[in-house]
Amino acid sequence: MPVTADQFKSALRRWASGVSVLTTLREGGIQGITVSSFCSLSLNPPLILACIDKKARSHALISRHRAFAINVLRAGQERLSELAAGHAGERGNWLEGFPHRKAATGAPILDDCLAWFDCSLETLHDGGDHTIFVGRVEAAGHSEGRPLLYCDGDYHRMAESRPKSHKEPRGAE
Ligand SMILES: Cc1cc2nc3c(=O)[nH]c(=O)nc-3n(C[C@H](O)[C@H](O)[C@H](O)COP(=O)(O)O)c2cc1C
């Protein structure tokens, strides 16, 4: 028997991820979309991927500009995530008033995020109702802090991690 939509979504809700906002340029400013499907793909060449709903407004903008940035959110940036998820209406996705800068491709990189990847569009692949956008990382950076997490339809923060020196040596567990 094929999987039902409810079974599929319920199982997916158990998957924990970080939260990122993919940014592109729209006429007059920034377009943001909250994305948990961000993933590293290759070290050499440096590639990442993100899966974007074909109905999302960002979809056409990425294809048109052939560039985008991935902004990895830090703990405390829940409001930014909600805006870019469209939960405050279309203008929320415009991320008006968010300080930003440009690196190599011209895609907008948001200030105060935990990490960022400035990407030119390498290739894209069909993925059902989504498209897999593969980005070549032209520039990247990070700052100190903890990531924002998402699981079971809600935001979470990372528990205090054990100091590295206290971790068991490999094979000892
Ligand atoms: C935590 C979280 C993760 C999300 N991840 C994705 C994703 O990976 N791909 C996607 O297409 N939409 C994802 N969404 C939904 C989009 O952010 C949402 O549909 C967005 O408003 C689409 O904007 P647009 O139509 O203006 O481009 C996610 C939403 C949330 C809250």
Q: Quick one: how far is CA 158 from the chain centroid?
A: 17
The phi-psi region of residue 133 (left if phi > 0; otherwise alpha if psi is between -120 and 50; otherwise beta) is: beta
The count of domains in the chain is 1
Asked if the structure places residue 165 within a domain, the reply is no
CATH number at residue 155: 2.30.110.10
Please list, residue by residue across 92-118, b when 16 or more beta carbons sit within 10 angstroms of its beta carbon and e when fewer do.
bbbbeebebeebebebbbbeebbbbbb
Asked if the structure places residue 67 within a domain, the reply is yes
Asked if the structure places residue 170 within a domain, the reply is no
Cα end-to-end span (Å), the chain? 40
Asked if the structure places residue 75 within a domain, the reply is yes
User: Which residues is 23 bridged to in the sheet?
Assistant: 32, 69
- Print the domain residue range for 124: 18-159
Asked if the structure places residue 172 within a domain, the reply is no
The model's pLDDT over 81-134, given as tens digits with 9 standing for 90+, comes to: 999 999 999 889 999 999 999 999 999 999 999 999 999 999 999 999 999 999
Asked if the structure places residue 6 within a domain, the reply is no
The model's pLDDT over 28-84, given as tens digits with 9 standing for 90+, comes to: 999 999 999 999 999 999 999 999 999 999 999 999 999 999 999 999 999 999 999
Q: How far apart are CA 50 and CA 90, in angstroms?
A: 21
Asked if the structure places residue 106 within a domain, the reply is yes
Cα(85) to centroid(ligand 1), Å: 5
User: Is residue 61 lining ligand 1, measured as CB closer than 6 Å?
Assistant: no
User: Is residue 23 lining ligand 1, measured as CB closer than 6 Å?
Assistant: no
Asked if the structure places residue 171 within a domain, the reply is no
User: Is residue 150 lining ligand 1, measured as CB closer than 6 Å?
Assistant: yes
Q: What is the CA radius of gyration of the chain?
A: 17
